[in-house]
Amino acid sequence: MFGAKLRQLRFGLRNKRATIGYPLAPRAPEPGYRGRVVVETARCVGCGGCAEVCPARCIRVTDLDDETRVIHRMLDRCLACGRCEEACVYGAVRLVADWENGTPRRDDLVIEQRLFMAACDRCGRCYEPLHPLDRLTSVGKREDEPWRLEPVAGGKE
């Protein structure tokens, strides 16, 4: 028994280290890692194209009235597939290579935007069409189920 422990000790001292010092030294993400979703709200026009292509349906678009649109992004359901980034012609949605997304509060994983929208008198759309997403079948007000209409405490705008 004592000989087995000596063999283990000799093996451990002779070979290189097999672990990383993660908690003390941050680790860089692997190449090609998509990470978490970041929204530049100043660039977003509220077209809802990201909600149309999201396979997890984690982006909810709700029109409160003819001029107010609320977009909720529930990042706890996000698959990080990158389709919302590809669909956004305005460059408002990006995936950054952050991989430490843990948080004790679920509200930290919700991005809420309240946008002023103006509808076109000719076609009824809420934005000026500039992208192939213009061929979407839904025009005018959206009828996604309202997920949360009150502001999120500590949420991002």
pLDDT digits (tens, 9 = 90+) for 98-116: 777 778 888 888 999 998 7
Q: Residue 152's pLDDT band (boundaries 50, 70, 90)?
A: low
pLDDT digits (tens, 9 = 90+) for 5-41: 888 888 878 777 667 777 677 777 888 888 889 999 8
Q: What is the mean pLDDT of residues 34-59?
A: 90
**Token pair of 28, please?**
């860089």
pLDDT value of residue 142: 65
* Stated pTM of the model: 0.62
Query: Domain 33-135 belongs to what topology?
Result: Alpha-Beta Plaits (3.30.70)
Q: Report the C-alpha gap between 80 and 76 in whole angstroms.
A: 10
Query: Which one, of 116, 7, 132, lies nearest residue 69 by Cα?
Result: 116
Q: Report the C-alpha gap between 125 and 135 in whole angstroms.
A: 12
Domain boundary assignment for the chain: 33-135
Alpha helices in 15-128 (DSSP H): 49-53, 83-87
Q: Does residue 51 have a pLDDT over 80?
A: yes
